[in-house]
Amino acid sequence: MAKRSTAETARPGTKSAADELVPRLAPLRAAWKAPAKARHFYVPASDRTVHWGYFSKHLKPIVEIASGDFLTLECLTHAAGDDPERMIAGDPGVESIYRWTEDGKTVDRRGAGPMDAPNGAGAGAGVHILTGPIGVRGAEPGDVLEVRILDMVPRPSGNPRHRGKTFGTNMAAHWGFHYHDLIEEPKPREVITIYEVEGRGGSGWARPLYNYRWGPVTDPNGVTHTLYDYPGLLMNPADFHPKRGVLKGVRVPLRPHFGVMGVAPAEADMVSSVPPHYAGGNVDDWRIGKGGTMYYPVSVPGALLSVGDPHAAQGDSELCGTAVESSWTGQFRVVLHKRAGIRATSPLAGLDGPLLETKDAWVVHGFSYPRFLTELGPNAQTEIGKRSSVDLAMRDAFRKMRGFLMRTQGLSEDEAISLISIAVDFGVTQVVDANWGVHATLKKKLFAKA
């Protein structure tokens, strides 16, 4: 069994506790300057600690924490099957999740769809491997959950042939913005590009290794997939005439972040992990990385926090459907804000969507349909994919930023609107997650009373 490096240092020659693949209490790290009563839970990624492709209020927490506790969560990309030799082989945690033979899978359900769907259990209606859920003691609907991202560490390959290296994959997929708008033949097509990830952000880079045109793929159950319509398919890139030397000389600055992070929504039993919404989920804002703090409105008892879909790099829009999908481990501190303790002028008062705070800015996230589960009727989870619109997401982001300014700064509507126009930046978060996103960034220095 190859030894993995993780955010927890495993001493050579000793058995790493993380290899037990179940959550455990772990020592607090000195850098955290944690209060004595705080605890630190280490959660390795394994078939016992993840759910695949969905959020659900009915999931039993894999660990229960108290407000103020620390978490290390190993988070895996759901696209490691694009190059299993680099991203699965030799890593017991990853292998435990991806195992799939004609006798079945270790994690059978992938997605919120029916278990007898023709393309596989869960129908791939939702694709992300999510670590969790984490239960938060005392969390109730109306509270706000604060999740601070203290650090992110790339997960090295478990394969001795690639020792010390980390890899990622970008899929130009059928849900991409470009898919029906291609100019080169054959049209349409899905394309995988494999990247090597060097460093940890800041000075780190992703470098392209090779690409291949995907599919069709027959899975161990004998189902042939002509589209990349089910997560965790195991490819042999050599079958697809991989092309080396692509994007020659290009290096992409890392922006490590978690594509999916959020709490379980109350409105449905099983919710696809693809469309983001008021309770977070697949927000895909690359600013949700180290040093960032997310705030989520709690809508079910215990909050049920899940994290996954780590990305090494992504542009605003995530145009082709994915980022540099890559496995990373995150260190977090989680703080529960009880509704009764939130002041009326707090950024958390009446919180109606995933809110990001960074050192320099506040970022609100608008969506085409922020509460699509209630807005779009009984078939909301399929309807949402037909109603995607940047225009609507822009409208939602505007309203959220106006509300944020009026509430937290005590501004009149006229003041808020003038300030938004001259100082707030609206960007296209993503146009590929069914419920499209626009984010609005408000710099804190506007209010520096210098």
Q: Provide the binding-site residues for its own copies, judged by CB under 8 A.
A: 170, 172, 176-178, 181-184, 191, 193, 195, 206, 208, 211, 213, 246-247, 249-253, 313-324, 389-391, 394-395, 398-399, 402, 411-415, 417-428, 431, 438, 440, 443, 445-450
* CB atoms closer than 10 angstroms to residue 239: 10
In the complex, the smallest distance separating the C-beta of residue 180 from its own copies, rounded to whole angstroms, is 11
Q: Say how far apart CA 133 and CA 346 lie, in whole Å.
A: 27
DSSP code, position 239 = G
- Contact, 268 vs 381, CB < 8 A? yes
Q: Say how far apart CA 73 and CA 61 lie, in whole Å.
A: 14
In the complex, the smallest distance separating the C-beta of residue 406 from its own copies, rounded to whole angstroms, is 9
Which amino acid, residue 398?
F
In the complex, the smallest distance separating the C-beta of residue 153 from its own copies, rounded to whole angstroms, is 20
Among 198, 1, 169, which Cα is nearest to 95's?
A: 1
- Token pair for residue 276? 């983001």
Among 187, 206, 200, 199, which Cα is nearest to 247's?
A: 206
- Token pair for residue 429? 């978060």
In the complex, the smallest distance separating the C-beta of residue 408 from its own copies, rounded to whole angstroms, is 13
In the complex, the smallest distance separating the C-beta of residue 173 from its own copies, rounded to whole angstroms, is 10
Q: Say how far apart CA 431 and CA 319 lie, in whole Å.
A: 6
In the complex, the smallest distance separating the C-beta of residue 161 from its own copies, rounded to whole angstroms, is 24
In the complex, the smallest distance separating the C-beta of residue 392 from its own copies, rounded to whole angstroms, is 9
Q: Which is nearer to its own copies, 111 or 176 (CB)?
A: 176
- Token pair for residue 185? 């033949």
Q: Which is nearer to its own copies, 26 or 401 (CB)?
A: 401
Which amino acid, residue 19?
D
Q: Which is nearer to its own copies, 32 or 426 (CB)?
A: 426
Q: Which is nearer to its own copies, 199 or 427 (CB)?
A: 427
Q: Say how far apart CA 205 and CA 207 lie, in whole Å.
A: 6
- Contact, 322 vs 173, CB < 8 A? yes
Q: Which is nearer to its own copies, 268 or 312 (CB)?
A: 312
